[in-house]
Amino acid sequence: MPFSADSVVVALERNMWKNATTQNKNNPSRQAENQTTNPVPVAVNWHCEPHCNYSCFFCYAPFVEQQRKPRLTIVEGYAVLESMKDAGIEKVNFVGGEPMLHPHIKHWIKHAKALNLTTSIVSNGTRMSSEFLEEMSPYLDWLGLSIDASTDVLHAEMGRGLRGEIKKGVSNHLERSKLIIENAKKFGYGIKLNTVVCSVNQSDDMEELVRWIAPDRWKIFQVLTIKGENDHMPSYFSVQDNVFQDYIVRHQHALSDTPSIQVVPESNEQMLGTYAMMDAQSYVYTNQNGRYEYSKEPVTVVGFSEAWSTVSQGFSNNAFEERGGTWNWDKENSATLSLPMVDTEAGE
């Protein structure tokens, strides 16, 4: 068992949690009903850590309120993962804020893998030491890194860097990320690369960098405004639909000779209603109406299926499939992925 805390206390806490969720878990017909009428998604982005040490100007995961609340205990996190597994989730993507700032992140990734979930993390690279990557390689299937631009000058303009750096008008994000990628290559990680396109980087040429990173999957997001989260973002950061499309077409064409790199564009429309998310307190939520709609109770109280049933109308499995939400993420059982491989972060 991966528990490092006193086993008696852990067992007691686990029993308390299980008792608290009996209304769902001890009622198979209720759970089956939920799963029939409100099918759960196959993948969930768990925004497990609300704090972040970066200051991206477009950030739509600032979680200011959540930062004032206590973190889940290690045991609560285990129980949340177990409830997700029971509900039929196949893949958990640990995101933030910055997930690497969470004190239990390694334990939770290991527990998820012990439950036979596909594991993924999207990080700004914080604390991604060679030691971390080596230790976690048996447990972490996919390493997602957010790199928005081919130069750190552009990253500085986007706020993509440590707060101290951005205050000085600089960023060393790209240089740090390159070191992480080199180390990740050594340990055979599947790498996802995430890029947010806004007015600052809309004309950037990422071809050379993406070829060097050689990600399995490059997700390109059109910067998105979420009411109450990042609507303070200066309007000039937005990127017009046609300009976003031009960025996509340009890079798809440039990389057309490298089919091993899957380029996955996500416009604002494609992002809405196609993400199943859970916050650091284990409330599940969706974003179909351009704002976050949260479950009435957290997973720690009612279990995943019950919590999800209160927000599932804000999620479309069909639209999720259409935007390529299900992809070949099962490294162990895949016949088409060749390992080891390398790629490079917020979404699937």
What distance in Å separates the CA atoms of residue 106 and residue 132, rounded to the nearest whole number?
9
226 makes contact with ligand SF4 (CB under 6 A): no
What gap in Å lies between CA 342 and CA 66, rounded to an integer? 34
CB contact set of 194 (below 8 Å; sequence gap of 6+) = 122, 144, 145, 146, 147, 218, 219, 221, 344, 345, 346, 347
Query: Which of the stretches 32-40, 94-102, 185-193, 240-248 binds ligand SF4 when contact is defined by CB under 6 A?
Result: 94-102
**92 Cβ contact partners less than 8 Å away, ≥ 6 residues apart:** 43, 44, 46, 81, 84, 112, 117, 118, 119, 120
Tokens found for residue 219: 């997700």
Q: What string marks each residue from 50 to 89 as x (binds ligand SF4 by CB under 6 A) or -?
A: --x-xxx--x-x----------------------------
For residue 288, count other CB atoms closer than 10 A to its CB: 18
Nearer to ligand SF4, 52 or 302 (CB): 52
Question: Does 105 participate in binding ligand SF4 (rule CB under 6 A)?
Answer: no
Among 41, 77, 97, 161, binds ligand SF4 (CB under 6 A): 97
The one-letter amino acid at 113? K
CB of 61 to ligand SF4, least distance (A): 5
Q: What is the DSSP string of 125-143?
A: -TT--HHHHHHHTTT--EE
Distance CA 344, CA 323 (A): 19
Binding mask 177-206 for ligand SF4 (x = CB under 6 A): ------------------------------
CB distance 281 to 47 below 8 Å: no
Q: Which is nearer to ligand SF4, 173 or 251 (CB)?
A: 173
CA distance 27 to 320: 29
Provide, rounded to whole angstroms, the least separation between the CB of residue 96 and ligand SF4.
Answer: 5
User: 55 or 177, CB closer to ligand SF4?
Assistant: 55
Task: Based on the shown chain and the rule CB under 6 A, indicate whether residue 148 belongs to the binding site for ligand SF4.
Answer: no
- Quick note: the x/- pattern for ligand SF4 over 257-296, rule CB under 6 A, is ----------------------------------------
Nearest to ligand SF4 of 124, 305 (CB atom): 124
Instruction: Say how many residues make up the chain.
Output: 348
**Closer of 79 and 206 to ligand SF4 (Cβ):** 206
> Is residue 152 at the binding interface for ligand SF4, with CB under 6 A as the rule?
no
In sequence order, which residues have a C-beta less than 8 Å from that of residue 218 and are 6 or more positions away? 192, 193, 194, 195, 210, 261, 262, 263, 264, 343, 344
Q: Does 98 bind ligand SF4 (CB under 6 A)?
A: yes
The least CB distance from residue 279 to ligand SF4, in Å, is: 13
Contacting residues toward ligand SF4, per CB under 6 A: 52, 54-56, 59, 61, 96-98, 124
